[in-house]
Amino acid sequence: MGLLVHPDMVLLDLVGPQTVFSLLMAKVHLVWKDRAPVTTDVGIAIAPTTTCRLVDRTVSGEFPRLADREGYLLGTAGLLAVWLLFLGAYLLACRVTVWLVRGSTVVGTARLFVLSLVPIAVAYNLAHNSSYVLVQGQALIPLLSDPLGRGWNLFGMAAYSPDLTLVGARFTWYVAVGAIVAGHVIAVWLAYRQTLRAFGARRAAVVASVPLTILMVVYTALSVSVIAEPLVRFRTPDPSYSRLGPAGQTISQEPDAGGVRLASSAR
């Protein structure tokens, strides 16, 4: 599986698909014309893991059809699979809760805890979009001086351009980790309050909170491990995806009558 990277790309456009494919244990290659690190919209450098040479037939429109068949369909299926996986994990935790504390159903327990998941959704939105909002939100500044696009400069800020260095990699990392951990902690606390209200006895509430607490810990560990996955990595290129082959050979893509042919030559 290959994901195209390029200078000034929106980092969120890469992190989202890469998160899905990582959960599916798919081998993901970051593709660009060379292996020089490219800088994203928030200043984080990404090192491509392989290169590709697009032949003339790519421009003619065949590649978009292949991408639609092999990329969008797989990406959509993977996204749905991840949703179903998390839903199944949540229902399993509710099933264990029903087994530990009698007197309820799986559906009733799921409805009881569902609002406790809202802080997690807010946390993920903050983790993934905070840097984008802070950088791209600066575009509102020149709009204040010229809100109607009439060439005005009411506050002397019409020529202002967003500062791409406003948000650094360190800030993005701490915001993402802090938001994810805080969201899950708040979710666990809300779930405990809900069980205390539903079951009355403190002991029963603690026992009923255990499955969901374990699930939140797993979610937190998984989320932090995903965002901790280094975006910049240097390793030996895969010869099957790279122009750099074994034993100093160069692998290039050359079109022939049957499609794309790999031709290798020793240096």
**Distance linking the first and last C-alpha atoms of the chain:** 28
Backbone angles phi, psi at 8, to 5 degrees: 65, 20
Q: Are strands 2-4 and 29-32 parallel, antiparallel or unpaired?
A: parallel
Q: Full-prediction pTM beyond 0.85?
A: no
Nearest alpha carbon to residue 48 among 226, 224, 241: 241
Instruction: Map residue 228 onto helix, strand or coil.
Output: helix
168 with 177: CB under 8 angstroms? no
> What pLDDT tens digit does each residue of the chain (267 aa) get?
678 888 888 877 787 777 767 766 777 778 887 788 888 877 788 888 877 654 334 434 444 444 444 556 777 787 788 889 888 999 998 899 888 887 778 888 888 888 888 998 899 888 888 888 888 888 888 888 888 888 888 888 888 888 878 888 788 888 888 998 899 889 888 888 888 888 777 888 888 888 888 888 888 787 777 766 654 444 455 555 444 444 444 444 444 444 434 444 443
What's the CA gap between 130 and 161, in Å, rounded? Answer: 19
C-beta atoms surrounding 160 within 10 Å:
16
Give dist(CA 251, CA 241) in Å, integer. Answer: 9
- Taking residue 225's Cβ as centre, other Cβ atoms within 10 Å add up to 10
The first and second tokens of residue 204, run together, are 């029963």
